Amino acid sequence: MRREAPKSLADYTPLLFPGLMLVVFFVVPFSTMIAVSFFKRNPSGFYTPDFVIDNYARFLTAFFGGVLGFSLLLAVLVAVCCVAIAFPFTYLLTKRPRRVQTLWLVGLLSVLSLSEVIIGFAWSTLFSQTAGITNLFVAIGLMDKPVALLPTFGAVLAGMVYQALPYTILVLYPALVRLDPTLLEAARTLGASPVRAFFNVVTPALRNTIVATLIMVFVFALGSYLLPQILGRPRHWTLSVLITDQAIYQSNMPFAAAMAVFLVLISLALVGLTLLVGRKENAL
Amino acid sequence: MSGLDINAITKTFGNFTAVDKVRLNVPHGTFVCLLGPSGCGKTTLLRMIAGLEEPTSGAIVLDGDDITPLPTHKRNLGMVFQSLALFPHLSVGDNIAYALRIRGASKEEQKKRVEELLALIHLPGFADRPVAKLSGGQRQRVAIARALALSPKLFLLDEPLSALDAKLREAMQVELRQLQQRLGITTIVVTHDQREAMTMADLVVVMGHGRILQAAPPIEIYRKPADAFVADFIGITNLLPAEIDSAGRTTILGTAIPGLAMPVGVAKASVSIRPEDVHLGEAGGRAITGQVTFVRDLGGTIETFVEVGGTSIIAVATPRERPNVSVGATVGVTLPPESCVVLGP
Amino acid sequence: MTATFLRRLYFTVVALFLSAPLIVVAGVSVNARQELTFPPKGFSLAWYGQIFTDPEWRLALIHSVTLAVCSAAIAVAIALPLAWFLWRRIAPWANIFQVLGLAPFILPPVITALGFLSFWATVGLFGHFFTAIISHAIFFVTLPLVTLSLGFASIDRSLVEAAATMGADDRTVLKTVVLPLILPYLVSGYAFAFVLSLNEYIVAYMTIGFTTETLPIKIFNALRYGYTPTMASVSVFFVAVAALVFGSIAKFGDIRRLLGAMSSDGN
C-alpha cells in the first residue's frame, strides 16, 4: 500500500474519532484554561467570566519573581545533574550486551512510571529520622544518632534528580545506541585511550543531542508538582507547586490558569528551541 | 487478442518523466526481460502493469480487456518483489495459501494447492516452517510459489534474484526459465543484469531514460544492437569511429575495411564489433596496426587490449586459438566486415 | 581491569541511587507493627493484605485499575486510526493531530491537569468518574501513538503491495497483514498507557480528586494525615506491577527497538 493523498471524503474517516477526541478534550480544555486566566475569581464558586488582566499583573510582585527564579534555577540544576550522570552512564550501557541493556531498560521504565506521590513518599522515608539512611550511618558508626534530612533543599534536589534520571537516560539512549561505533574505533586506532576517545569524539559528535536533552529534562523538571512540597519547605516551592496550590487549596482558578499559561509559554519556547537544535543536528 | 498490450503508457513524477510513451506487445506465454540501468523506468513500468502505480496517460490491455482502471487486487496477477515481501507473521504454507485463503477457499483446497506448489519448487514438507528459518534461495522459491498460487494470467518479477549470491542466482535463472516454460505463463522480469536477461528471456526489452531502445530476442540484441547505448549495455563491445574517405571507401581508424558499407548519405558513424569477432595477427597487409597494452588471461578466455592511435580495441580469444602476443608487441587487428554493426547516428 | 572496575562501580552507584528509596520502602512495608522504622522490626505481610481487604484501599485499587484499563483502551482507540492514517496517506496538514497527540505529554502535567479542571468545571461535569477516564486517555494518548507510529514505520510497504497483487483489497490487507504485524506495538502502547495511568496523580486529582480516591490520591492523602505502612506496601505493589508489565514487553517484544535503538525506517 503506497502512501497516497486522500481522494474522497470517505478516505478521511479514520481521522474522525481521533480528531474529534483531541479537539474536544484537548484543544477546547486548553482554550478554556486560557480564557479562565482572564476571568475574575469568585470565592464562592470557581470563577466568573470577565476580562481582567489582574491575574497576569500579579506576576510582577517580588514574591512571584522569587518563585519563578527559584523554579528555573532548580530545573537547570536538575537538568545539569541528570545529564552529567546519565550521559556517560547511557554511553557505557549501550556497550553492554543486549540482555544487560534490556534489564536496565525495564528497571528504568519501572522507576520512570512511578507516581510522583510514591517517589515523594519513598524519599521522605529514606530521609526520615526513624527509617532513613542515617540509621545506616549510625549502625556503621558514622553518626551518633539518626537525624531527619528533610525538609531541605538537598532533599528536593535528590528527589527531583531521581525522578528525572530515568527520563534523561531514555532520552539519550536512542542517540547513543545508534552512534556509529567505527567513529570510536577510528579514534582508538589513532591512539586515543577509551576515556580520551569518549571526551574527544563521542561528546563533541553528540553536542547538540546533549543540549536538546538538557532542555527536555529542564522542561520535565519544571513540571514537578509534588516533590518540592513533600521534601522541601514552602520557600522551595516551584511554579508547578504554586499552580496546584492556587487551583486546589486557594480556589483561585484564574490566577492558577494565568500561571499555567505563563508556564506553557516558557515550555513551548524551550521545546521549540529543542526542535531547532535537533534540526541542526540532522542537517550535519 | 491474446497477450499483454502496453499502449503509449507514460508516467511523470512532477517534472520528471519516468516512463515516456512506451509501447510494447507481449504475446501470450512469452518471457520478457525489462533490462536497463537504474532509473531507466523499468521498475515503474512493471509497477504500472501491476497497478501499483497509476499511469499518467496510456492504457494497459490484457487479453483484449483494458485493465488500466482496475486496482491491483482485481488484476489477477502474481508478483515477486525485490524484497520478496514474504509475510513474517505467517508460515511458508500460509504465505503460499494467502491468495486462496482471502478468497475463502476451504482448508483442504488450500492444503492441496500448497503441496502442489511446494513440489513444484522442490521444497516438499516445508509448509509449517516459519519464513524466518529459510535460506535465501528457499525464500526466493517460496515467493515464486506464492505468486503462482492462483495460476495468474501474468507473472511479474521485480529484480527477483538480486539478493542471491552469484552462483545461486545463475542456478535460479535456469530454474525460473524452466518453470515458466512448463507453465506457459506470460512473464515479465525487471533486471539490470544482462546475463540474467540473456539466460531467461524470449524477448529482451532494453530501456533507457524512460523509453524502449530496443525490443528483440536476446541473440539479436547481442548481434544487432540498435544503438551505441544498447551495444554498450549488452556485454562488452568495441565502439569504433568509421568514416568514408576521399576514395569513397569505408575506413575504421584510417584503415579501409573492404565489404563494410555505410548507409546511403552517411559519412561518419559508430561501428560496434564484439571482442570475440576481432582477430589478431601479424602486422601489415590489410590489418590495422596497433600495440598490445594489456593481456588478461582468465583461463577460459584471453582478453587482449590493443591501442590504435589512442583508441583501445579489445579482442577475446579462447586458449586454443591463443594469439601469440605479449605487452608491447606490435600486432595487426582484423575486423571482419560481416561482424561490424553500423549504428545509427 | 581498572576500567572494568570503574564501570562496575559507576553502574552500582546508579543502581543503588535508583533502588535505595525502594529498598527502604520495601523494608518499611514489612514492619510487624504500624510504625515507620527501617530496618523493619519484625516481619509481616499484613500490610500487603490491607490493599485488598481494607475497604478504603480496596476501593482505591478498584478505582485505579478501572481508570487505567478504560483510559488506556480509549488512548489506543484514538491512536490507532490516527497512526494508520498518517502512515497510509499523504496529508501534511494531518500532522497537526500528531502534534496534538504528543503535546499533553510534553507539556508540564500541571498544565494539562488544569486545562481539564477548567474544562470539566465549565461544562458542569466536574467530579464524574468518566471525566478522569477521558482525561487520562488524552493525557496518555502519546504513548500508543508513538509505539504504533514506530510499528507502522517498521512495516515493509511491499508486504502490503504483495497482498494487493494476490487479490486483497484495503480492508483485507488491514485485517490479514497490517493488524497482525502491528499487534505487538499495540499491546505495548496499551501497557505503557496502563502503567502510567495507574500511577498518575495530578490529572486524576484535578478531575475527580474531591469525590473519588485512586491509589496515588489515597497515598497522598494518607501522607498528609499521618503514616500507615499500607502506603509502603502499595508503593511496592506499584513497582512490581510496572516491572512485571515492562518485563513482559521485553520478553515478548523488542523493548530496545521501542525505545529507539533502531532508526524507525531501518529494519
The number of distinct structural domains making up chain A is 1
| Amino acid, res. A133 | I
Radius of gyration for chain B, computed over Cα atoms and rounded to the nearest angstrom: 25
- Domain residue spans of chain B: 4-230, 238-342
Residue B109 phi/psi, 5° resolution? -60, -45
Q: What is the DSSP letter of B272?
A: E
Q: In the prediction, which pLDDT does A284 show?
A: 45
**How many CA atoms, within 13 angstroms, populate the side-chain half-sphere of residue A154?**
5
Determine contact, residues B160/B183, Cβ cutoff 8 Å: no
Nearest-Cα distance to chain C for A203, in Å, is 18
Q: For residue A39, is it within any domain?
A: no
C142 touches C192 (CB < 8 A): no
Dihedral of alpha carbons A150, A151, A152, A158, sign: positive
Bridge partners, residue B97, by sequence:
none
- Spell out which residues of chain C touch residue A264, defining contact as CB-CB under 8 Å: 107-108, 111
Q: Does a structural domain hold residue A35?
A: no
| Cα B81 to Cα B145: distance, rounded to the nearest angstrom | 13
Q: Give residues 247 to 286 of B whose Cβ lies within 8 Å of C.
A: none
Phi, psi for B310 (deg, rounded to 5) = 90, -10
Q: Say if A230 falls within a structural domain.
A: yes
In this structure, are residues B110 and B101 in contact, taking their beta carbons and an 8 Å threshold? yes
Q: Is residue A173 part of a domain?
A: yes
Dist. CA B157–CA B81, nearest whole Å: 6
Residue A29 lies in a domain: no
Q: What is the ipTM of this complex?
A: 0.85
- Name which of A29, A116, A118 is nearest C118 (Cβ-Cβ): A29
Q: Are C77 and C112 in contact (CB under 8 A)?
A: no
- Residue B326: strand, helix, or coil: coil
In chain C the domains, ranked by start, together with CATH numbers, are 61-258 (1.10.3720.10)
Return d(Cα B233, Cα B209) in angstroms, integer: 13
Partner-chain contact B89 C181, CB within 8 Å: yes
Contact across the interface for C82 and A15, Cβ inside 8 Å: yes
Structural contact between residues B214 and B221, judged by C-beta atoms closer than 8 angstroms: yes
Contact between C161 and B51 under an 8 Å Cβ cutoff? The reply is no
**What number is the average pLDDT over the span C159-182?**
91
The cell for B182 is: 512448463
Cα C166 versus chain centre, distance: 39
The tens digit of pLDDT for each residue in A5-28 reads 887 888 888 889 999 999 999 999
pLDDT band at residue C4 under the 50/70/90 scheme: confident
**If pLDDT is split at 50, 70 and 90, which confidence band does C265 have?**
very low
pLDDT at B118: 93
Distance of alpha carbon C25 from its chain centroid, rounded?
22
Residue A100 lies inside a defined structural domain of this protein: yes
Res C263: pLDDT? 46
On whether the CB atoms of residues B206 and B233 are closer than 8 A, the answer is: yes
Backbone angles phi, psi at A47, to 5 degrees: -170, 165
- CB-CB neighbours of A47 under 10 Å: 24
B partners (3+ CB pairs within 8 A) are: C
Q: Which three cell numbers stand for residue C84?
A: 494508520
Could you give the CA distance from residue C140 to residue C193 in angstroms, rounded to a whole number? 6
The pLDDT of residue B157 = 94
C32-83 pLDDT, tens per residue?
777 777 777 778 888 888 888 888 889 999 999 999 999 999 999 999 999 9
Hey, what's the cell of A239? 511554579
Q: Which amino acid is at A44?
A: S
- What CATH code is carried by the domain that includes residue A186? 1.10.3720.10
Q: Which domain holds residue A173?
A: 70-252+270-283
On average, the pLDDT of chain A sits at 84
The answer to whether the CB atoms of B81 and C161 lie below 8 A apart is: yes
Q: What are phi and psi of B26, to 5 degrees?
A: -115, 105
CB contact under 8 A, B146 and C166: yes
Please say if the pLDDT value at position C262 is more than 80: no
CB contact under 8 A, B99 and C181: no
Question: What residue of C is the nearest CA neighbor of B80?
Answer: C162
CA distance B288 to B308: 8
> Which residues sit opposite B186 in a β-bridge?
B154
pLDDT score of B307: 92
Burial of B272 (0-12, 13-18, 19+ CB in 10 A): buried
- B123: closest CA of chain C, how far (Å): 21
Sign for the pseudo-dihedral over CA of B39, B42, B43, B49: positive
Q: Which of C154, C165, C254 to mutate to test the interface with B (most CBs of B within 10 A)?
A: C165
Residue spans of chain A under pLDDT 70:
1-2, 43-46, 278-284
Note whether C159 contacts B: Cβ–Cβ < 8 A: yes
pLDDT < 50: residue spans in chain B: none
Summarised one tens digit per residue, pLDDT across range C14-31 is 999 999 888 888 888 888
The pLDDT value recorded for residue C137 is 95
The CATH number fitting domain B238-342, selected from 3.40.50.300, 2.40.50.140, 1.20.200.10, 1.20.1560.10: 2.40.50.140
What is the pLDDT, as a whole number, of residue A2? 61
Record the pTM. Answer: 0.84
pLDDT at position B106, please? 93
Contacts of A68 (CB under 8 A, 6+ apart): A59, A239
Q: Please, is A92 exposed, middle or buried when counting C-beta atoms within 10 Å of its C-beta (0-12, 13-18, 19+)? A: middle
Q: CATH top-level class for B4-230? A: alpha beta
What's the pLDDT at A65?
A: 80
Could you report how far apart the first and last alpha carbons of chain A are, in Å?
Answer: 32
pLDDT at A44: 64
